[in-house]
Amino acid sequence: MNSQTPVISCRNVWKLFGADPERYLARMQGEKSYDEIRADGYIAGVKNVSIEVGRGEMLVIMGLSGSGKSTLVRCFSRLHDITGGSIEVEGQDIMSLTENELIELRRNKMGMVFQSFGLLPHRTVLDNVAFPLEMRGQDRHERRARALEVIRLVGLEGREEYFPRELSGGQQQRVGIARSLAIEPDIWFLDEPFSALDPLIRREMQDEFLRLQEMLGKTIVFITHDFDEALRLADRIAIMKNGAVEQCDTPDKIVMNPATDYVAKFTEEIDKARVVHAGALAHPLNGHVPDGQPVAARTTIHDLARRLVSDSGDELPVTDDTGAVVGVLNRQAALDVLMGDG
């Protein structure tokens, strides 16, 4: 899914909070641990993170509260100035931007959705959605038309004149989403957008979100503390702890090969069969194509359960979206995953 040049690329990014972080970082000998830094009176919000986000990719950053995930995403949009390292957005070092250039970047390229919605309480739904357009000086008529369009997109027709407090939480977040989409951003940041919602609504919004993403195909950085949500949505997941990225990989790989004990704690309770795809478990073609009805690489092992149990062959062919055979699935290995021994 990754295209050639990453949309966001960050290298050795540091974000420290404290009295004089730049100086502290410059003087730091080697890399200190989170606790050592804390003992020195600084908090490591982001600690030596290097990560890339490809075009059209959805990167989910997962971590518990205080892990630095929100800080990291704010570094991407320079809501926080980083202490060290570099961040490039579409090849441009954002730390070198002037205030006006930064404003232009945000006005045209970036959209963000917030956990508590961040709606302006004194503006109607329509005015909230049109707000970024208004800020960049689009004329009244145009921005109204565009705002109505996005409002329809998120399914809020008929509520244009409502004020945020008159809406439910789910509806408010739809406004937040519509607002972030109004300027047709290339990069879309979502900071725990569904955490404040109750579970049923959350599920519904996730589906809605997937539908939108299907349509729009944006480059997305999505923050969550909910591992299930991350598995459900992500192309790749970056798991953070104490400001550092513990592991960054596809869901299948994280589930199957947790890099650290910390990551393993998350994956332990997960029903892996629902996560792991046939494609991820498949070996490359080794010259011969096994017989049998091929399975799509995109199906999860869980969905293949009946087939795995009833089939008799040891190996199954795996096909990609175009129908070409791309690999071989070992039935026993798949069954192990299904039984939870993988």
Partner 1 sequence: MASVTDHTSLRDDRRSSGRMSALRLIFGAALLLLVLKAVGMLPEWLNRPPDWLIPPYAQWLDAFFNFIKGDMETGRPGLIYLTRWFSEGPLEFMLNTTANLLEGKRRWPNIGPISWSAIAAVATVIGYYLGGWRMAALAGGTFFWTALVGQWKLAMQTLSVISVAAPLAFVFGLTLGIVAWKYNWFDRAMRPILAVLQTLPFFTYLLPAVIFFKVGPTAGAVATIIYAMPPMILMTTLGLQKVSPEVVEAGKMAGCTRWQMLRHVYLPAARTEILVGVNQVIMLCLAMVVLTAFIGMPGLGAKLLAMMNSFKLGRSFEIGVTIVLLAVTLDRLSKAWVVKQPEHFEKGTPWWKRHFYTVLGCGAFVVFLGLAYLSNRVPNYTLIEGANQGNILQYLFSVLGDVHRTQDLSQGKEIDTAIKHFLDLDGIQATTEWLRWFLNVQVLIPFRNALLWVPTPAFILVIAGFAYWLAGRREAIIAAIFFSIVASTGWWDRSVITLYTVISAVVLAMLIGIPLAIWTARGAAPPLSLQGSAKDFAIGLVGLAFKRIPVLFGALLVSSLYHFFTAVEESAAFLSPTSPSLYIFGATFLVLWLAVRDWPRDKVVLTIVDTAQTFPSFIYLIPAIMLFGVNDVAVVFSILIFTLVPLTRYTVEGLRHVPPEMTEAADMSGATQVQKLTSVQLPLALPTMAVGFNQAIMFAFFMVIIAAFIGTQDLGQELQRTLAGTDLGKNFVLGICVSLMALTFDITINKWARNRKAALGLE
The site for partner 1 (CB under 8 A) is made up of 74, 77, 79, 103-104, 106-108, 110-112, 114-124, 131-132, 134-136, 160-163, 165-166, 176, 179-180, 183, 189
Q: How far is the CB of 189 from partner 1 (least distance, A)?
A: 8
Question: CA-CA distance, 329 to 282, in Å (whole number)?
Answer: 4
Angle at 14 between CA 64 and CA 177, to 5 degrees: 55
Strands, sheet with 315-319, edge to edge from the N-terminal-most edge strand: 283-284, 325-330, 315-319, 295-296
Hey, what are 225's tokens? 């503390």
Q: How far is the CB of 256 from partner 1 (least distance, A)?
A: 36
Hey, what are 240's tokens? 């953070």
Q: How far is the CB of 137 from partner 1 (least distance, A)?
A: 10
Question: CA-CA distance, 116 to 183, in Å (whole number)?
Answer: 21
Q: How far is the CB of 111 from partner 1 (least distance, A)?
A: 7
Q: Nearest 5°: phi and psi at 87?
A: -130, 130
Question: CA-CA distance, 265 to 142, in Å (whole number)?
Answer: 50
CB atoms within 10 A of CB 169: 16
Q: How far is the CB of 183 from partner 1 (least distance, A)?
A: 8
Q: How far is the CB of 171 from partner 1 (least distance, A)?
A: 13
Question: CA-CA distance, 198 to 140, in Å (whole number)?
Answer: 36
| 329: amino acid identity, one letter | L
CB nearer to partner 1: pick between 182 and 334: 182
